Protein backbone atom coordinates (compact mmCIF):
# COMPACT_ATOMS: atom_id res chain seq x y z
CA UNK A 1 0.00 0.00 0.00
CA UNK A 2 1.41 3.40 -0.93
CA UNK A 3 0.69 6.81 0.59
CA UNK A 4 -2.35 7.61 -1.57
CA UNK A 5 -3.87 4.20 -0.90
CA UNK A 6 -3.20 4.71 2.83
CA UNK A 7 -5.16 8.00 2.69
CA UNK A 8 -8.14 6.20 1.11
CA UNK A 9 -7.88 3.39 3.68
CA UNK A 10 -8.04 6.01 6.45
CA UNK A 11 -11.01 7.63 4.71
CA UNK A 12 -12.94 4.35 4.99
CA UNK A 13 -11.78 3.88 8.58
CA UNK A 14 -13.00 7.34 9.64
CA UNK A 15 -16.27 7.01 7.71
CA UNK A 16 -16.95 3.82 9.67
CA UNK A 17 -16.51 5.89 12.85
CA UNK A 18 -19.15 8.39 11.79
CA UNK A 19 -16.96 11.11 10.30
CA UNK A 20 -17.65 12.91 7.04
CA UNK A 21 -14.36 12.65 5.15
CA UNK A 22 -12.87 14.61 2.28
CA UNK A 23 -9.58 13.48 0.71
CA UNK A 24 -7.62 16.52 -0.41
CA UNK A 25 -5.77 16.59 -3.72
CA UNK A 26 -2.52 14.66 -3.79
CA UNK A 27 -0.30 17.66 -4.56
CA UNK A 28 -0.70 21.14 -3.14
CA UNK A 29 -2.85 19.96 -0.24
CA UNK A 30 -1.51 22.63 2.16
CA UNK A 31 -0.40 19.95 4.61
CA UNK A 32 -3.67 18.06 5.09
CA UNK A 33 -4.47 14.77 3.35
CA UNK A 34 -7.94 14.41 4.88
CA UNK A 35 -10.52 16.81 6.27
CA UNK A 36 -12.80 15.19 8.85
CA UNK A 37 -16.10 16.59 10.11
CA UNK A 38 -18.11 15.31 13.06
CA UNK A 39 -20.23 16.91 15.78
CA UNK A 40 -19.55 20.41 14.44
CA UNK A 41 -15.77 19.91 14.55
CA UNK A 42 -13.44 20.16 11.59
CA UNK A 43 -10.16 18.20 11.73
CA UNK A 44 -7.16 18.49 9.41
CA UNK A 45 -5.34 15.15 9.12
CA UNK A 46 -1.85 14.50 7.79
CA UNK A 47 -1.45 10.80 6.83
CA UNK A 48 2.06 9.33 6.79
CA UNK A 49 2.66 5.80 5.58
CA UNK A 50 6.36 5.39 6.29
CA UNK A 51 8.98 2.73 6.85
CA UNK A 52 10.56 4.88 9.54
CA UNK A 53 9.47 7.10 12.44
CA UNK A 54 7.66 10.30 11.51
CA UNK A 55 9.59 13.51 12.22
CA UNK A 56 8.71 17.13 12.91
CA UNK A 57 7.97 18.08 9.29
CA UNK A 58 4.61 16.26 9.47
CA UNK A 59 3.71 18.25 12.59
CA UNK A 60 4.74 21.52 10.95
CA UNK A 61 2.66 20.72 7.85
CA UNK A 62 -0.51 19.85 9.76
CA UNK A 63 -0.20 22.93 11.99
CA UNK A 64 -0.13 25.06 8.83
CA UNK A 65 -3.05 23.15 7.35
CA UNK A 66 -5.12 23.67 10.49
CA UNK A 67 -5.02 27.43 9.94
CA UNK A 68 -5.44 27.15 6.16
CA UNK A 69 -8.54 24.94 6.36
CA UNK A 70 -9.89 26.80 9.43
CA UNK A 71 -9.94 23.50 11.32
CA UNK A 72 -10.62 23.05 15.02
CA UNK A 73 -8.06 20.28 15.42
CA UNK A 74 -4.98 18.84 13.72
CA UNK A 75 -4.00 15.16 13.69
CA UNK A 76 -1.13 13.14 12.24
CA UNK A 77 -1.86 9.46 11.56
CA UNK A 78 0.89 7.00 10.73
CA UNK A 79 1.54 3.30 10.39
CA UNK A 80 4.78 3.80 12.36
CA UNK A 81 5.89 5.76 15.44
CA UNK A 82 6.95 9.38 15.99
CA UNK A 83 10.37 10.78 16.87
CA UNK A 84 10.76 12.42 20.28
CA UNK A 85 11.12 15.82 18.57
CA UNK A 86 7.83 15.25 16.72
CA UNK A 87 6.10 14.28 19.97
CA UNK A 88 7.40 17.41 21.70
CA UNK A 89 6.37 19.71 18.84
CA UNK A 90 2.93 18.09 18.63
CA UNK A 91 2.40 18.56 22.36
CA UNK A 92 3.30 22.26 22.25
CA UNK A 93 0.99 22.81 19.24
CA UNK A 94 -1.97 20.72 20.38
CA UNK A 95 -1.60 18.18 17.56
CA UNK A 96 -3.08 14.72 18.19
CA UNK A 97 -0.71 11.90 17.19
CA UNK A 98 -2.10 8.53 16.14
CA UNK A 99 0.74 6.02 15.84
CA UNK A 100 0.75 2.40 14.71
CA UNK A 101 -0.54 1.05 18.04
CA UNK A 102 -3.39 3.57 18.27
CA UNK A 103 -4.29 2.95 14.62
CA UNK A 104 -4.46 -0.81 15.20
CA UNK A 105 -6.59 -0.18 18.29
CA UNK A 106 -8.99 1.97 16.22
CA UNK A 107 -9.33 -0.78 13.62
CA UNK A 108 -9.92 -3.49 16.23
CA UNK A 109 -12.61 -1.45 18.04
CA UNK A 110 -14.64 -1.15 14.86
CA UNK A 111 -17.38 -3.47 13.79
CA UNK A 112 -15.43 -6.33 12.14
CA UNK A 113 -17.73 -6.25 9.12
CA UNK A 114 -16.90 -2.55 8.63
CA UNK A 115 -13.12 -2.92 8.75
CA UNK A 116 -11.62 -1.60 5.50
CA UNK A 117 -9.73 -4.29 3.61
CA UNK A 118 -6.22 -3.03 2.69
CA UNK A 119 -5.96 -5.37 -0.32
CA UNK A 120 -9.30 -4.14 -1.66
CA UNK A 121 -8.22 -0.50 -1.27
CA UNK A 122 -4.95 -1.23 -3.08
CA UNK A 123 -6.84 -2.87 -5.95
CA UNK A 124 -9.42 -0.09 -6.22
CA UNK A 125 -7.02 2.86 -5.85
CA UNK A 126 -4.32 2.21 -8.41
CA UNK A 127 -1.28 4.46 -8.48
CA UNK A 128 1.52 4.68 -11.00
CA UNK A 129 4.14 5.09 -8.32
CA UNK A 130 6.35 2.31 -7.08
CA UNK A 131 7.41 3.02 -3.52
CA UNK A 132 10.69 1.90 -1.95
CA UNK A 133 9.90 -0.62 0.77
CA UNK A 134 12.98 0.48 2.75
CA UNK A 135 12.70 4.26 2.93
CA UNK A 136 9.28 5.14 1.47
CA UNK A 137 10.61 7.24 -1.42
CA UNK A 138 9.49 6.79 -5.01
CA UNK A 139 11.33 4.25 -7.17
CA UNK A 140 12.47 5.35 -10.64
CA UNK A 141 13.28 3.31 -13.72
CA UNK A 142 17.03 3.16 -14.25
CA UNK A 143 19.33 1.55 -16.79
CA UNK A 144 22.45 -0.36 -15.85
CA UNK A 145 24.89 -2.81 -17.43
CA UNK A 146 22.42 -5.68 -16.92
CA UNK A 147 19.38 -3.80 -18.24
CA UNK A 148 16.58 -1.82 -16.68
CA UNK A 149 15.58 -1.93 -13.01
CA UNK A 150 13.80 0.23 -10.45
CA UNK A 151 16.12 2.11 -8.11
CA UNK A 152 15.24 4.24 -5.13
CA UNK A 153 15.14 7.98 -5.84
CA UNK A 154 16.98 8.38 -2.53
CA UNK A 155 20.18 6.94 -4.05
CA UNK A 156 22.96 6.98 -2.82
CA UNK A 157 21.54 7.15 0.72
CA UNK A 158 19.15 4.29 -0.07
CA UNK A 159 20.41 1.66 -2.50
CA UNK A 160 17.26 -0.44 -2.71
CA UNK A 161 16.40 -1.88 -6.15
CA UNK A 162 13.54 -3.85 -7.62
CA UNK A 163 13.43 -5.94 -10.79
CA UNK A 164 11.32 -4.72 -13.70
CA UNK A 165 8.33 -7.04 -14.16
CA UNK A 166 6.03 -7.41 -17.14
CA UNK A 167 2.98 -5.18 -16.80
CA UNK A 168 4.71 -2.80 -14.36
CA UNK A 169 3.72 0.86 -14.67
CA UNK A 170 5.85 3.16 -16.76
CA UNK A 171 7.96 5.30 -14.46
CA UNK A 172 10.19 8.13 -15.74
CA UNK A 173 13.64 6.85 -16.56
CA UNK A 174 16.53 8.32 -14.61
CA UNK A 175 20.14 7.47 -15.42
CA UNK A 176 22.33 6.29 -12.59
CA UNK A 177 23.98 9.25 -10.83
Q: What is the CATH number of the domain that holds 106?
A: 3.40.1350.10
pLDDT of residue 98: 96
The pLDDT confidence band at residue 162, using thresholds 50, 70 and 90, is confident
Q: Are residues 134 and 116 in the same domain?
A: no
pLDDT of residue 114: 55
Q: Are residues 47 and 61 in the same domain?
A: yes
pLDDT of residue 177: 40
The pLDDT confidence band at residue 168, using thresholds 50, 70 and 90, is very low
Q: What is the pLDDT of residues 83-141, one digit of tens each?
A: 999 999 999 999 999 999 898 888 877 756 656 667 776 677 666 677 787 777 788 88
Higher pLDDT, 62 or 118: 62
Q: Are residues 69 and 143 in the same domain?
A: no
What is the tally of structural domains in the chain?
2
Dihedral over Cα of 81, 83, 88, 94: its sign: negative
The pTM for the full model equals 0.64
Residues 6 or more apart in contact with residue 158 via CB below 8 angstroms: 132, 134, 135, 137, 152
Q: Are residues 66 and 148 in the same domain?
A: no
Q: Are residues 60 and 141 in the same domain?
A: no
Q: Are residues 164 and 79 in the same domain?
A: no
Higher pLDDT, 173 or 60: 60
**Nearest to 161, CA basis, from 142, 145, 146, 175:** 142
Q: Are residues 67 and 137 in the same domain?
A: no
Amino acid sequence: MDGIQFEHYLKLLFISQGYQVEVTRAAGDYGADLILRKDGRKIAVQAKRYNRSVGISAIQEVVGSKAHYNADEAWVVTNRDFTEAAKNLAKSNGVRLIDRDKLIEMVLKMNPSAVPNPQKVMEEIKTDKIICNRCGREMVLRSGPKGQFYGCSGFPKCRNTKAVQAGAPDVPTSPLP
